[in-house]
Amino acid sequence: MQSFPEPARLLVDRMSAAAAADPARAVAFQGAPGANSHRAALEVMPDGLPLPCFSFEDALDAVKDGRAGQAIIPIENSQHGRVADIHFLLPESGLSIVGEHFLDIHHCLMARADAGAIVAAYSHPQALGQSRFYLRERGIVPMAYADTAGAAALVAESAEPGIAAIAPRIAAELYGLDLLAEDIEDAHDNTTRFVLLSKAPRDPATVTGAALTTFVFEVRNIPAALYKALGGFATNGVNMTKLESYQKGASFAATMFYADIVGAPGDPAVDRALDELAYFAKDLRILGSYPLERARG
């Protein structure tokens, strides 16, 4: 936690104390207070206790250690695709996905009241890239920082003139910064998908309405293995909304696949498709079945 700037550490200490007093209501997230993950936690659990963590691993460990009842983690962004390392971390965590949430991403330019003319802006590289037209038009130099809200905290504690941060609006409120401009992102449909994680999996039978099931698997090293493994979803009419590959280890011989399907175990069509997948694949692990928040297709 000591890697956060001082204004953020003060908030982290206060929020951590509140979460420690009632861990069942705590929702762990990665980033400084005021990050988009903080916003997502507040939207998903308005009565929860957001618990800031410095890394994704810290947020997952908070749930595993019982310091938080749930964690909310970004998994993909409409502009930049999947979030790095998440496909490795989720299966290894032993936690289950129990929900999803879509968050509209809006960037704001903020600075101290005495900043003067802005010549540089700090933020996460993705936020800087998503606001590059705005910055270029105004001759503002982008300066990379670990996360958006942390950049706001950095600007709040700095006496350097001419610097600003690009962060969510909530960060300006938390760190006492002036909002200089709102909605400066280049694409106004920028959206991040989050997943909610818990120690205990959700019983698919408790999901009302459409469900989504997430799983990972490794295909056997035989010709047409992937084609055969996925054939059961087509023949059983199960809609696969996501399929992404990633390498397991450094040998480049074992390819893992991450997939989302509409439906859940207990549905005969889904059960048949998963049985066929298990026959042609190995290391099949279901990460969770949960309510479908936004229709696919």
194 among known catalytic residues: yes
| DSSP E strands, 87-239 | 96-104, 108-111, 120-123, 141-144, 163-167, 178-181, 191-198, 211-219
**196 near 95, Cβ under 8 Å?**
no
**Phi and psi torsions of 57, nearest 5°:** -60, -40
The single residue of 4, 54, 56, 194 carrying the catalytic annotation is 194
Q: For strand 255-262 and strand 240-247, is the pairing parallel, antiparallel, or unpaired?
A: antiparallel
- Read out DSSP for 46-97? TTSEEEEESSHHHHHHHHHTTS-SEEEEEEEETTTEEPTTHHHHHHHH--EE
| Longest CA span, the chain | 66
CA-to-CA distance for 263 and 210, rounded, in angstroms?
Answer: 7
The single residue of 148, 192, 213, 214 carrying the catalytic annotation is 192
Residue 205 has a CB neighbour count (10 Å cut-off) of: 11
255 among known catalytic residues: no
Q: Is 52 left (phi over 0), alpha (psi -120 to 50) or beta?
A: beta
CA-to-CA distance for 11 and 49, rounded, in angstroms?
Answer: 13
Q: What is the DSSP letter of 224?
A: T
**Tokens found for residue 57:** 């691993």
Single-letter residue type at 253:
A
Active site residues: 192, 194
